[in-house]
Amino acid sequence: MNAIISASELASDLAGERPPVVLDVRWQLTLAKASGEPPFDGPAAYASGHVPGAVYVDLDRELAGTPGTGGRHPLPDLTEFGAAMRRAGVSAARPVVVYDGGQGWAAARAWWLLRWTGHPDVRVLDGGLPSWEGQLQVDAPVPAEGDFEPAPDDEGLLDADGAAALARSGVLLDARAGERYRGEVEPIDRVGGHVPGAVSAPTTENVGPDGRFLPAEELRDRFKTLGASEGTAVGVYCGSGVSGAHEVLALAVAGVPAALYVGSWSEWSSDPSRPVAVGPDPQ
């Protein structure tokens, strides 16, 4: 099953006999700004217009737990996550399509969580809402309660020790911007740098100027150059397990299974006992 879907394909599926559940996961990383600019308001963006039938899902409240020692976006409580998905109409036997404002990170986080907890048919709208050419809906639908029950697969998840081990035994990709990997800048976390042995692989290089994924063959070639190919144990981390999910999605498009270190750099760097590498060299 393809992990992504085009806007035209989604429009066709919505008009079909078995329309998917559609989740709107618009979100942006918000940093304090001296200008006093207000933070991104996902519910307001949703209310101003969304794909017909889409239900809004809040990344910070429903796709992540409380920030702390486990990172800025740790795993959500799975009981609460399951309840949120059922409220949104998610059922095991019905396809799900998720989208965001075009960056793809938040939609990928929802995709990864649903796949990791056992949903068999989840896709991300390639290019997000900007790719949608149909009409938008402003009223919020009230879907029938779904029946989805999360059943996580531990093989798709890494903790800090697992990430450290994979950096030595397989391939651990760092999906953040190169300057953060190298430790030249760190706008959010306690210290800059990367997990020793991790390979720099900015997730922004997985998409074209329109925000849509590169063709599968190009992604396959890119990841092969980085040492990640089918048959190799591959893991991904980022700042807090959001853009890293986008890299896992890109790997899936390329046909390469990968695990996600959800705590990512926000967890790793908060522990002074964890080693930190800086510069362009993985070690």
**Catalytic positions, written as ranges:** 238
Report d(CA 180, CA 183) in Å as an integer.
5
Residues 6+ apart with CB under 8 A from 153: 116, 117, 118
CA triplet 57, 263, 230: central angle to 5 degrees? Answer: 90
Residue 109 · residue 99 · CB < 8 Å: no
| Type of residue found at 78 | L
Residue 45 in 3-state DSSP? helix
Tally of CB atoms within 10 A around 242: 25
CB distance 253 to 3 below 8 Å: yes
Torsion angle of C-alpha atoms 202, 207, 211, 217, degrees rounded to 10: -160
Place of tokens 């009981």: 79
* Beta-bridge partner residues of 68: 71
